[in-house]
Structure 1
Amino acid sequence: MTSTLPTLIDLLAHNAVAHADRPAVIDDGAPQSHSLLYVAVQRQAAALSALGVGQGDRVVLVAGNRAEVLVMLGAVAWLGAMLVPLNLRLSPAEMAQQSRDATPAMAVVDAACAPLWQAAWPEGMPGVPTVRLGAANGPSPAYAGPGTAPPVARQDAPELGVLMLFTAAVEGHARGAVLAQSQLTASARQIGAVWSLGVNDRWLGVLPLFHAAGIGLSLALLAAGGTCVLLPRFDPAAAVAAVEQHQVTVSATFAPMLGAMLDAAQTSGASLASLRICMGLEPPATQARLTALCPGVGFWSAYGQAEVSSMVCLGLQSERPGSAGRAVPPSQIRIQDATGQPVADGAEGEIAVRGPTVFLGYWDVETRRPFKPADPWHRTGDLGRLDADGWLWFTGRTAHKQLIKSGGENVYPAEVEQVLLEHPAVAEAFVFGQADEKWGEAVHAACALKPGAIATEADLIGFVAQRLARFKRPQQVRILPAPLTRAT
């Protein structure tokens, strides 16, 4: 993709001509071409427009990994609207909060995910129509043949926000990071350039499309004229079978997915020889297993977040083991102190990012627009250091961004602490992460009870599980007899 394709629609229109009959998406085994994808986007835009969606409107999406997610993203881009895909692992209360904050004009729900939405809004979201993905009276089926699409005027522009991803919980409340079309296409170009992606590359889409990594890699492959091989859910046996059947070249996973895939490949005898790029945060032992099974694959580390449209650092682990990679041009990273001034090479500080992929800002519920500080350097809330060659070494998180990364999901301790404090027996709560061989980090907690109160570890874990997503539930809760003392 070139700089002359600043919007998602420009990208899709180019592919519809340049790579018309090549597969853009293989959805659960069924291939769909770039030309059909472009037609589907126009039809979807027409369907949404007929239902009243226009420029600036938000459309909440509750769906798994399927081609329609990419079609919906293109459709809202066409209309100048914004897609808000929700994490399917959220609790009903979390889903209700995030959808409420987005103030959507419409909710689009996959049939398989309808129970999740109904649990969040048993009586329906007040004032917000809910339509079934692919329903005759709602958004049109993603692929209905190559006929003429209904005419709908394009309202997209590079600077318009097109995607809102909820992240960065502050005081227990998740915020929506708003990304513009130009930021998503810039990220796709950057990733594609580093990996030399082309029309013959195929990505194994097992990362959820409601995550920045999942949607970012999908767009990187589409920008290169390549193919997204989507699986409806992660299943190790199905994943390795898809790699072999569709000759997948690019894979990205969250721990412990890669290890499970290697187990499945060794059990079934499926070949992973087509892979040339694997990316993730995997322990050295898993990386060594991958190298032994697939000598031709390169394992890449990365650094990124939703606020920077996916990955801004990439690097081969064989070149600098343990590093998070180097900045992907033209994005820049630096390490700075608490006042925002850069520090010397090798010194620890906060990781800051500047460049074309940095988001528009966090969604402001009151003004219904994104807001961020004027400083062009985005403060990530993560700590790290740069060596003399520009390689980034992640070292932790700043005090204002306490975060646990468990199996690729962000868990903010303050959010879990807030829920624990709602339990009638809990006087104080402290949530923290501990290294975990399977998940990378695991959620743990310590609680002090009110005088005379009684609660068991199982009581408190169950209390959290009823209110937050399963991945935020503490694996262990230590009940302490005395008030907690925190280091300052």
Structure 2
Amino acid sequence: MAVHGFTLYDMIVRGASLYGDAPAVIQGERTLSFRDYHRRVDALAGGLAGLGIGRGDRVCILAQNDAAYLELYGACARQGIVAYPINWRLTGPEVERVVGRAAPKMFVADASTLGVVAGWPAALPSVGHWYQFGGSAGAGFTPFAALYREDAPAPAVVGPDDAFAAISTAAVDVVPRGAVLTHANVIAANLVAAAGFGLTPADRYLLALPLFHITALGTALAHMHAGGASVVVARYDAEEAVRLIDRHRVTHVSDFPPVLSTLLDAAEKLGSRLPSLRDVAGLDAPATIQRLHESTGATFWTGFGQSETTGFVSLQRVRDRPGAAGRPVAIAGIGLVDDDDREVPVETPGEIVVRGPLVFQGYFGQPDVTARTLRNGWHHTGDVGRLDAGGYLHYIGRKPEKELIKPGGENVYPVEVETVIMQMEGVSGVCVYGVPDVRWGEAVKAVVEVAPAGRYTAQQVADHVGSTIARFKRPHVVVFADALPRTAAGTVDRAAVKTRWGTSPS
């Protein structure tokens, strides 16, 4: 590697040297020190190398959070392998489409996802190696524990601009796009987070959001870089979270609705004021944020970011400028442009564009989409916002052609849900869009044109969607119509539908 290079494996080596026996990863009754983590990453890398998996190869992971998941990220970083995590909430056909795009040499599941991929080792011979986290495995899978070996070869030659992970984004074109993040991207994001939140070796992060999300992965790695520890939870449970926060003196929690509201409910039930909690970062309703500030000593942080920007590119305490999404972080340039890529004046809405070392390398296997997104020296986010005179970014929403719904922090593209509903007999038109939801932040609403009237119930439509694609994409509200308004071109007039049927969750 070049003299100026620094990778995520270099971060791991540095952590073992500086922090030694201090805790790096905590799960249940097990604690891995920085030295332990380094040693296990090396041992796992030896197993991967022994299978012939190396620089540029992909490893798909369909699993809930686990210490071994973090070790696999580390081993991939060491060997130049691209980690390709997959949302475990997806259906089998959705997962298979992601695997088709990723073309991995290895697939890793766990006990919770084995049912989704049962029989795949025989059906997909193009994937050479099938492993399951833990010491035992289902038919066709090998126990992941068998991969660790003490005779690891020297680390591969990996540079800062090499790919580290491909984080799946929403299914714009049916298959989720894989946003490729480099080592340099993640190292830069670590330093932004450490500076923004003031992270130190005393900090503890509740790693409860899924590790296939950039929020969870990025915040865990930022704490590791700063010498702090992550307390790993397989999947979020509010009462367990309160107990772990109090037991391990957790200082930082990531939030998408309904995480914070349920956490505060559980804390009240268990009689805890969460005294160690200092920072909660993410998105939530103003009333929930106010409740956090009134009932604990923690501060809520918010900002703007995407998988494609390795997390936050603007950041602020909500109290600093209520309603805003923060000012640009130290190493991000943020601009606003019109449809012709011309800069718009202050206080004028425009597409949010970003440049700097946090911007991703591109979409895996999609050079044309990448070129379009990264045109004219900027990453075009597809989001609309405005900058005020003080330099604060205010988020407005998605561009119409890139409309996105985010229930509980997940990404749902209306066209994907519309395509599924249109498969139902008698449906001749549909419009899907997001509406406010107290629990999830945003919910999916569908207005369905069907004949004859009364042919389906709302539950039947929701069940059809949930049986075809991931359940979080099901409409929570379904309205039926004899005829939807249409444009002169004959397409459904989305604006007219929203005006007529409204954006209320009813």
* TM-score of the pair, normalised by structure 2: 0.90
Give me the whole-angstrom Cα distance separating, in 2, the residues matched to 1:477 and 1:322: 30
Are positions 1:406 and 2:396 aligned together? no
- Supply the distance in 1 between the matched residues of 2:444 and 2:86 (Cα, whole angstroms): 22
How far did 1:367 drift? 10
- Is the contact made by 1:5 and 1:11 (CA closer than 8 Å) also made in structure 2? no
C-alpha distance after superposition, 1:75-125 (max 9, x if no partner): 111111101111011111111111111111110112332112228x48543
AA at the equivalent of 1:353: V
Please give the alpha-carbon distance, in whole angstroms, between the structure 2 residues aligned to 1:34 and 1:149.
20
Q: 1:179 aligns with which of 178, 181, 196?
A: 181
Conserved 8 A contact 2:373-2:381: no
State the one-letter code of the partner of 1:476.
V
Where does residue 74 of structure 1 map in the other structure? Answer: 74
Tell whether the 8 Å contact from 1:172 to 1:412 is kept in structure 2 after alignment. Answer: no
Within a 5 Å distance, the mapping from 1:49-448 to structure 2 comes to 49-118=49-118, 121=120, 123-128=122-127, 129-135=129-135, 139-140=144-145, 150-294=152-296, 296-364=297-365, 373-448=374-449
Q: Is the 8 A contact 2:281 2:302 kept in 1?
A: yes
Change (3 A) 1:417 1:183: same
CA–CA distance in structure 2, aligned partners of residues 261 and 138 of structure 1:
34
SS of equivalent residue, structure 1 residue 445 = strand
Alpha-carbon distance in 2 for matches of 1:330, 1:231: 31
Structure of higher RCO (CA pairs closer than 8 Å, 6+ residues apart): 1
Any idea what the Cα deviations from partners look like across 1:439-485, whole Å, max 9, x if unmatched?
Answer: 11100101112579933322221111111111100012212112443
68-77 or 151-160: bigger deviation? 151-160
Q: 1:365 and 1:344, CA in 2 relative to 1: closer, same or farther beyond 3 A?
A: closer
Number of matched residues? Answer: 481
Question: What letter matches 2:450 in structure 1?
Answer: L
Distance 1:248 1:69, change over 3 A: same
Q: What secondary structure sits across from 1:340 in the alignment?
A: coil
Taking the aligned partners of 1:329 and 1:173, their CA distance within structure 2 comes to 34
Cα RMSD between the aligned structures?
Answer: 2.4
Using the TM superposition, give the Cα deviation of residue 57 of structure 1 relative to its aligned residue in structure 2, in angstroms.
0.7
460-469 or 367-376, which moves further after superposition? 367-376
Contact conserved, 2:170 with 2:412, CA < 8 A, in 1?
Answer: no
Q: What whole-Å deviation, never above 9, does each CA across 1:279-327 have from its counterpart, x for those lacking one?
A: 1212122122211221x32111121111011111110011111111111
Structure 1 residues without counterparts, runs of 5 or longer:
none
Identify the residue that residue 462 of structure 2 maps to in structure 1. 461
CA contact (8 A) 2:273 2:295 kept: no
Deviates more, 1:165-174 or 1:469-478: 165-174
Q: Any conservation in 2 of the 1:364–1:370 contact (CA below 8 Å)?
A: no
- Kept in 1, the 8 Å contact 2:178–2:364? The answer is yes
C-alpha distance in 1, partners of 2:263/2:420?
A: 35
Residue identity matched to 1:273: P
For 2:466 and 2:150, the matched residues in 1 are separated by 49
In the superposition, the TM-score normalised over structure 1's length comes to 0.93
Q: 2:347–2:388: 8 Å Cα contact kept in structure 1?
A: yes
Alignment-derived partner of residue 504 in structure 2? none
> Unaligned regions of 5+ residues in structure 2, if any?
137-141, 487-492, 496-506
Instruction: Say whether the 8 Å CA contact 1:448–1:480 is kept in structure 2.
Output: yes
